[in-house]
Structure 1
Amino acid sequence: MIRLPEAYIQQMQMQLQERAEAFLRSYEQPRTQGLRMNPAKIDPRSGGPVLERLRDTFGLEPVPWCETGFYYREETKPGKHPYHAAGLYYIQEPSAMSAVELLDPQPGDIVLDLAAAPGGKSTHIAGKLAGQGLLISNEIHPVRAKSLSENIERMGVTNAVVVSAAPQQLAERFPRFFDKMMVDAPCSGEGMFRKDPEAIAEWSPAHVEMCAARQLDILQSAVAMLKPGGRLAYSTCTFNEQENERTVNELLRQYPQLQLERTERIWPHLHRGEGHFVAVLRLKGMPDEPHAAMTGSAAQPRTRQVGKAKRGGSRPEEAAMRLFQRFAEEALAAGFELPPGEPVLFGEQLYLLPAPAGIPFGSAMLQGLKTLRPGLHLAEVKKDRAEPAHALALALTNAAQARLAVDLAAGSGEAERYLRGETVDGPEARSGWTLVTVDGFPLGWGKQSGTQVKNHYPKGLRR
């Protein structure tokens, strides 16, 4: 039985009046569980045997406000299934899926997720972008930023950059730059009470006030980055009006050029979800005004240059890219093409920075920012060779994109062996880099010699 703070009960009784009793009774019900399909891997609209298998295995039922979202039965534990490691879906509370649906990013948009960890809304945005445009996912806390980066990788996102910066630092770097922005602000977490007892312990009226003040500070930085005509979704997983409607009203008072388009609330006593608040705002102006490029000191590199060329020589990125192309010729199927991008070398790690058409975005804009993932991780460059990155395997969509592949059945135990870091068997004697798949969906790399495939699944991800 959940014990709610008395001050919280009084707050909700004042806010909801005669509806408060039904709301408070919702805490006696079990929490809701949800997952969202990755449209880069599986499209719920097209159906097919894999989707039907998922429906049967996890008891999936559709989430009404998200076409890629589904409820699942808690006892089925989809997070432990090999399909989760393959990035077929992201486990996300159903109410939280509403925010990106209301923001409605479109392929080609330039989008910022300002407080993005652990990655639910960023990966949802990436699915909407369908590999086009640019997503910058930011998380100020380093540990949480690492988990954000890992989830971006697992879902096979190719056009996202992960950074860890304060909102004001980004506002100085990207004035009037983004078509769409997601501000899933840190909040008092009232919608998390059924799943997280710590959220109850941390709650107090003073904590609510502190959250509201912090949310307004974050939103002020966000407005500075929004392009004229652009849209911003402000969301919280809390119920009180101070962090929700009052914060939005104060923002509108401070910025008359903002227009409130809509607000939506999901209540746990009315809907099948833990609860969420979303407000969508638009910055008045013509949406076809050009993106603002960096000017002044913000445009100048503040740290060492990435890939500085030696006199008479080529940039390190060029040499690293040649090694990667050699790997690609040996390991990837003919016709495989990388998305447009700028090669960037961070130490020995080669990335492909997204290069959206017509957008003044390049590696110089990341100078001075703590960047965890400057685009798609291609390879680790070692002396005279390039070893493929795990992210590259997950960015592939099927086994046909690799010259050699070993397919493991999800229910056979072989996929679990691979995820534990064990050697697996190939179908025949051969040699070379091999894409390991589960029911045709890429899981990672192995290196085959004879009939044995040496495991190259990252040690930090092994079970």
Structure 2
Amino acid sequence: MNLPIAFEEKMRSLLHEEYADYEKCFDEARHYGLRVNTNKITVEEFLKIAPWKLEPIPWIHNGFYYDGDSVQPAKHPYYFAGLYYLQEPSAMTPADRLPVDPGDKVLDVCAAPGGKATELGAKLQGKGVLIANDISSSRAKGLLKNLELFGIGNMMVLSEEPGKLTEYFRGYFDKILIDAPCSGEGMFRKDKKMVKAWEEHGPEFFSKIQRSIITQAASMLKTGGMLLYSTCTFDPSENEQTIEYLLSEYPEFEICSIRPYEGFAEGMPETGESGNQELKKTVRIFPHRMQGEGHYLALLKKGHCEENHEADADRAGKTAGRKKKLPEELDAFFQDVDWELDASRLDIHGERVYYMPEGLPDLKGVRFLRSGLLLGELKKNRFEPSQALAMCLKRKDYARVLDLPLADERVIKYLKGDTLDLEDMVSAKEKGWYLVCVDGYPLGFGKLLGQTLKNKYLPGWRWMGSGQ
């Protein structure tokens, strides 16, 4: 592979005697990764049903390598059930190393297409809120689909400049992840087109953007909150020097240690301007040291890492307002759902009914693609549940379930949008809405009339082409 001379010289100065090993890695095949959705299934349960040979990614507890040349996990019903996300192994690291707890208020600043946001949402386990933002509305649409596929309901998908968000969320978040736009040097092996992009927009272009984003995000973090900054590049101006800039603007931040792995390399204080030895606590991932592409990570706390600070006063008003009653049609549907809906969290726009996360500030004026969980639509004398609701449910949560084994040809027919014949299904007798599952994991809804299931799988999600 022909690398730009300026890039080669920079890498030689960073790696010294290791440069030859780095250069050799371009002769090796890229690595394919799969990350289990622990919001829907445990790692142990997934390994029992996994259709392919998987090898553990040693530094990611729910990450696995698969053979991308022989299998297509994106063409499998379990993918459509949201049981896993396909992601480059090193790219799993930022969300894995940000310590998110259920109930946290979490921001993913540059979230599309959702590789990090889906893991952050899974860690929340349905509690707290995930704000997933991407400035590109077209990319944010893919982000929304991935979050809904993963069954993340306590979320909002925004499409704003990070600077605009500071007007609404100052001192609001417990955890923030910034997977910053960067020059992409760590992805040269995976995607050769990144080299041309690097020649057009190099590190100097991106470092200015990164400094703006990280300082804006810092103002949205509570005292005692944690911020993880990451890139997929090697240039010090985008990595150590960006962290130096944050510390100069916000001296209350402190660099924290990242849970170690033997393949991680220390950050390089010598590449910065301050000589701050704490930068060694940041992490560099080099593809010749471990089985993944190039990355950089820095974990910081607003306050001292070893101390617990009380969070800033919560400036968010509760979404709960006046007591509300569930609309009759919605109430009738939810008689079959083992959920306790808080009517005060409902937000109804025309026919559409949304279930909002708790404790949000007033977001009037923000551009968003989704606010909360879309429960469905109120039609005349009836309620039609959404695809997003189906993906948030567990099999045990709904009264009427059509559970098809993986080998049943009707699984693929359902995912293609076909009507299903259920004459042989003893369990499908009572007319009405059914939650269609594969091996116990929801795929979507259907409506039973006689012995025929009218398919309600979302058209934009349907199975295209042949399977494995």
CA displacement at 1:347 relative to structure 2: 3.5
Task: Report if aligned partners of 1:320, 1:381 keep a CA contact under 8 Å in 2.
Answer: no
Alpha-carbon distance between aligned partners in 2 of 1:255 and 1:226, rounded to the nearest angstrom: 11
SS in 2 for 1:64: coil
TM-score (normalizing by structure 1)? 0.88
* Rounded Cα–Cα distance in structure 1 between residues aligned with 2:343 and 2:11: 51
Check whether the contact 1:7–1:205 (CA below 8 A) recurs between aligned residues: no
Question: Conserved in 2, the CA contact under 8 Å of 1:158 and 1:376?
Answer: yes
Moved over 6 A (4+): none
1:379 aligns with 2:379: no
Superposed CA deviations along residues 385-410 of structure 1, whole A, max 9, x for unmatched, are 21000011110121x32222212222
Measure how far apart 1:346 and its partner are. Answer: 3.1
**Match for residue 460 of structure 2?**
460
Following superposition, the deviation at residue 447 of structure 1 comes to 0.6
Q: Could you tell me which residue of structure 2 aligns to residue 347 of structure 1?
A: 350
Q: Does 1:183 align with 2:182?
A: no
SS at match of 2:234: coil
Match of 2:433 in 1: 433
Task: Report the secondary structure of 1:406's partner residue.
Answer: strand
C-alpha distance in structure 2 between counterparts of 1:206 and 1:352, whole Å: 41
Equivalent-residue separation in structure 1 for 2:380 and 2:87 (angstroms): 41
* Partner SS for 2:376: strand
Hey, what's the Cα distance between the residues in 1 that align with 2:193 and 2:435?
42
Is 1:33 matched up with 2:32?
Answer: yes
TM-fit CA distance, 1:319: 7.3
Structure 1 residues 46-85: aligned runs within 5 Å = 47-48=44-45, 50-54=46-50, 57-74=51-68, 75-85=70-80
Q: Distance in 2 between matches of 1:416 and 1:6?
A: 50
Q: Is the partner of 1:187 in helix, strand or coil?
A: coil
Residue pair 2:103, 2:129 contacting (<8 A) in 1 also: yes
Query: How far, CA to CA, are the matches of 1:319 and 1:347 in structure 2?
Result: 17
Give me the CA root mean square deviation: 2.3
Q: Say whether the 8 Å CA contact 1:82–1:416 is kept in structure 2.
A: yes
Match of 2:266 in 1: none
Give the alignment's TM-score, normalised by structure 2: 0.87
1:267 aligns with 2:286: yes
- Structure 1 residue 79: Cα displacement: 0.9
Q: 1:161 maps to which residue?
A: 156
| Residues 93-124 of structure 1, C-alpha deviations (whole Å, 9 max, x = no match) | 11111112221111111111111111111111
State the alpha-carbon separation in 1 of the partners of residues 343 and 216 from structure 2: 30
Identify which of 220, 232, 237 aligns with 1:237.
Answer: 232
1:269: how far off?
0.5
CA contact 1:321–1:343 (8 Å) conserved in 2: no
Q: Are residues 1:397 and 2:416 paired?
A: no
Tell me, in whole angstroms, the C-alpha distance in 2 between the residues paired with 1:421 and 1:205. 43
Which residue of structure 2 aligns with residue 303 of structure 1? none
The answer as to whether partners of 1:404 and 1:434 remain within 8 angstroms in 2 is: yes
1:89-108 superposed matches below 5 A: 89-108=84-103
The answer to whether the Cα contact below 8 Å between 1:109 and 1:132 also exists between their aligned partners in 2 is: yes
Name the CA shift for 1:279/1:321 in 2 (closer, same or farther; >3 Å). Answer: farther
**Structure 2 counterpart of 1:409:** 405
What is the identity, as a one-letter code, of the residue corresponding to 1:70? Answer: F
How much does 1:135 deviate? 1.1
Q: Which letter maps to 1:397?
A: K
Given residue 265 of structure 1, which amino acid in structure 2 is its aligned partner? Answer: R
**Counterpart for residue 120 of structure 1:** 115
Aligned residues of 2:325 and 2:343 also touching (Cα < 8 A): no
Give distance in 1, aligned partners of 2:130 and 2:15.
38
**3-state SS in 1 of match to 2:430:** strand
Q: In structure 1, list runs of 5 or more residues that go unmatched.
A: 300-305, 309-314
Task: Give the aligned partner of residue 259 of structure 2.
Answer: none
Distance in 2 between residues matched to 1:291 and 1:459, nearest whole Å: 44
1:142–1:320: structure 2 CA closer, same or farther, 3 Å change rule? Answer: farther
Which shifted more, 64-73 or 401-410? 401-410
- In the TM superposition, residue 189 of structure 1 has moved relative to its aligned partner by 1.1
Task: After TM superposition, give the deviation of residue 437 of structure 1 in Å.
Answer: 0.5
Determine if contact 2:417/2:459 at 8 Å carries over to the other structure.
Answer: yes
**Superposition deviation, residue 287 in structure 1:** 2.9
CA distance in 1, matches of 2:253, 2:205: 24
Give 1:341 shift.
Answer: 6.6
**Is the Cα contact below 8 Å between 1:341 and 1:354 reproduced in 2?**
no
Classify 1:294/1:159 alpha carbon distance in 2 versus 1 (closer, same or farther; 3 Å).
Answer: closer
Indicate the residue corresponding to 2:449 in structure 1.
449
Letter in 1 for 2:155: A
- CA–CA distance in structure 2, aligned partners of residues 120 and 291 of structure 1: 31
* 1:5 to 1:235, Cα distance in 2 relative to 1, 3 A: same
Q: Tell me the CA shift for residue 197 of structure 1.
A: 2.6
Superposition pairs of residues 131-280 of structure 1, within 5 angstroms: 131-204=126-199, 207-261=202-256, 262-280=281-299
Query: Per-residue deviation at 1:430?
Result: 3.5
* Post-superposition offset of 1:272: 0.9
Contact 1:8 1:204 in 2 (8 A): no
Task: Tell whether the 8 Å contact from 1:178 to 1:291 is kept in structure 2 after alignment.
Answer: no
Distance 1:291 1:124, change over 3 A: farther
Question: Does the 8 Å CA contact 1:268/1:275 hold for their aligned counterparts?
Answer: yes
Shift of 1:273: 0.7
Decide which moves more: 128-137 or 409-418: 409-418
Taking only the aligned residue pairs, the percentage that are identical comes to 41
Residues 146 and 264 of structure 1: CA distance in aligned 2, closer, same or farther (over 3 Å): same
User: C-alpha separation between the residues in 1 aligned to 2:360 and 2:195?
Assistant: 43
The SS at the match of 1:42 is coil
Structure 1 distance, partners of 2:330, 2:2, is 57
SS of match in other structure, 1:430? coil
* 3-state SS of 1:215 partner: helix
Which residue of 278, 284, 291 corresponds with 2:313? Answer: 291
Match of 1:350, SS? strand
Aligned residues: 431
Indicate how the Cα distance of structure 1 residues 268 and 116 shifts in structure 2: closer, same or farther if over 3 A, else same. same
Structure 2: give runs of 5+ residues left out of the alignment: 257-280, 464-468
Say if 1:88 and 1:155, in contact at 8 Å, map to a contact too. Answer: yes
The answer to whether the 8 Å contact 2:183/2:201 transfers is no
Give the drift of 1:323. 2.1
For residues 290-329 of structure 1, what are the structure 2 equivalents within 5 Å?
Answer: 290-293=312-315, 321-329=327-335
Residues 380 and 387, structure 1, Cα contact 8 Å, conserved in 2:
yes
